[in-house]
Amino acid sequence: MGIFRIATIVGRLRWRFLIYAFLLILGAMLIALAIGKTYQRWDNDPERGALAISQDRFGEPYSTPIYLDQGWSPTDSLWFYNTTQGSALLPYDFFIALEQAGTQTLFRANTNMDGYRYLPQKPTFFNRDGLPVGFVKDTYQGVDYLGFTCAACHTSQINYNGKAIRIDGGPSMADMVGFLSGLEQSLQATLDNDEKYQRFVTAVLARNNTYKTPSQIRADLETWTASLNLYNRINHSPFDYGYARLDAFGRIYNRVLQYMINRQQLEAVLLGATNDQRQYLLTPDEVSRVLDGISETIISDRQFVQVITRLGSTAAGYPGLSRADITRIKQHIFNEANAPVSYGYLWDVPHSDYVQWNGLAANAGVGPLGRNAGEVMGVFAILDWSAQKPGFSLSAWLTGQQKKTRHIDFTSSIDSVNLARLEAHLKSLTSPRWPTLATSHENQQNAKAIFDAEPAWKIDPEKVRRGQWLYATHCQSCHELIDRTDWDRKIVAHLSNVNQVGTDPATALNSVNYTGYSGNFNNTYLRGGIGSQVIQNRAPALQILTAATTGVVATPDPDKWLVHRFLDWLYMLAHSFFNNELKPSIKTGDYQPDTTADPYASLRAYKARPLNGIWATAPYLHNGSVPTLYDLLLPKQRTGDPEEGVYRRDEFRVGAREFDPLRVGFRSEGYDGFLLRTTRPGDLNSGHEYGTIHDLRVKAGELEPLSDEDRWALVEYLKTL
Distances (CA, A) of 37 to 30, 487, 579: 11, 21, 17
In a domain, 130, yes or no: yes
- Asked if residue 218 and residue 91 are part of one domain, the reply reads yes
- Asked if residue 183 and residue 131 are part of one domain, the reply reads yes
CB atoms within 10 A of CB 639: 4
In this model, does residue 127 exceed pLDDT 60?
yes
Cα separation, 408 vs 134, in Å, equals 31
Report residue 238's pLDDT band, with 50, 70 and 90 as the boundaries: confident
What's residue 567's pLDDT? 73
Paired residues of 62 in beta bridges: 53
Q: What is the mean pLDDT of residues 381-397?
A: 90
Cα separation, 504 vs 159, in Å, equals 29
The more confidently predicted of residues 97 and 37 is: 97
Q: What is the pTM of this model?
A: 0.93
Residue 424: closest CA among 121, 141, 33, 47:
33
- Parallel, antiparallel, or unpaired for β 533-535 and 524-526? antiparallel
What's residue 186's pLDDT? 98
Q: Do 171 and 617 form a contact (C-beta atoms < 8 A)?
A: yes
Average pLDDT over the chain reads 92
DSSP string, 248-293: HHHHHHHHHHHHH--HHHHHHHHHH-B-TT--BSS-HHHHHHHTTT
- Asked if residue 136 and residue 8 are part of one domain, the reply reads no
In a domain, 212, yes or no: yes
Report residue 417's pLDDT band, with 50, 70 and 90 as the boundaries: confident
In this model, does residue 351 exceed pLDDT 60?
yes
- Asked if residue 6 and residue 97 are part of one domain, the reply reads no
- Asked if residue 36 and residue 47 are part of one domain, the reply reads no
Report residue 345's pLDDT band, with 50, 70 and 90 as the boundaries: very high
Query: How many structural domains comprise the chain?
Result: 2
In this model, does residue 312 exceed pLDDT 80?
yes
In a domain, 67, yes or no: yes
Q: Do 519 and 297 form a contact (C-beta atoms < 8 A)?
A: yes
> Last residue of a domain, which of 234, 259, 291?
234
Q: Kindly state the helix (H) or strand (E) to which residue 540 belongs, with its residue range.
A: strand 538-540
What's residue 559's pLDDT? 75
- Asked if residue 35 and residue 58 are part of one domain, the reply reads no
- Asked if residue 159 and residue 79 are part of one domain, the reply reads yes
| Per-residue pLDDT tens digits for 261-296 | 999 999 999 999 999 889 999 999 999 999 999 999
| Per-residue pLDDT tens digits for 467-507 | 999 999 999 999 999 999 999 999 999 999 999 999 999 99
Q: Do 604 and 508 form a contact (C-beta atoms < 8 A)?
A: yes
What's residue 5's pLDDT? 57
In this model, does residue 233 exceed pLDDT 70?
yes
What's residue 2's pLDDT? 56
- Asked if residue 49 and residue 30 are part of one domain, the reply reads no
In a domain, 153, yes or no: yes
In a domain, 331, yes or no: no
| Per-residue pLDDT tens digits for 603-640 | 999 999 999 999 999 999 999 999 999 999 999 999 99
Q: What is the mean pLDDT of residues 353-372?
A: 90
What's residue 17's pLDDT? 59
Q: What is the mean pLDDT of residues 396-415?
A: 91
In this model, does residue 63 exceed pLDDT 90?
yes
Q: Do 654 and 645 form a contact (C-beta atoms < 8 A)?
A: no
Range of the domain at 94: 43-234
In a domain, 150, yes or no: yes
Report residue 38's pLDDT band, with 50, 70 and 90 as the boundaries: low
Q: What is the mean pLDDT of residues 248-259?
A: 96
Cα separation, 141 vs 454, in Å, equals 53
In a domain, 25, yes or no: yes
- Asked if residue 83 and residue 13 are part of one domain, the reply reads no
> Last residue of a domain, which of 234, 250, 278?
234
- Asked if residue 149 and residue 76 are part of one domain, the reply reads yes
Q: What is the mean pLDDT of residues 333-361?
A: 95
First CA to last CA distance, the chain: 79
What's residue 528's pLDDT? 80
What's residue 489's pLDDT? 93
- Asked if residue 129 and residue 17 are part of one domain, the reply reads no
| Per-residue pLDDT tens digits for 515-555 | 999 999 999 999 887 889 999 999 999 999 999 999 998 88
Report residue 11's pLDDT band, with 50, 70 and 90 as the boundaries: low
Residue 295 φ/ψ, nearest 5 degrees: -60, 155
In a domain, 567, yes or no: no
| Per-residue pLDDT tens digits for 559-612 | 776 666 677 777 776 766 677 788 889 999 999 999 999 999 999 999 999 999
- Asked if residue 80 and residue 136 are part of one domain, the reply reads yes
What's residue 658's pLDDT? 97
What's residue 3's pLDDT? 58
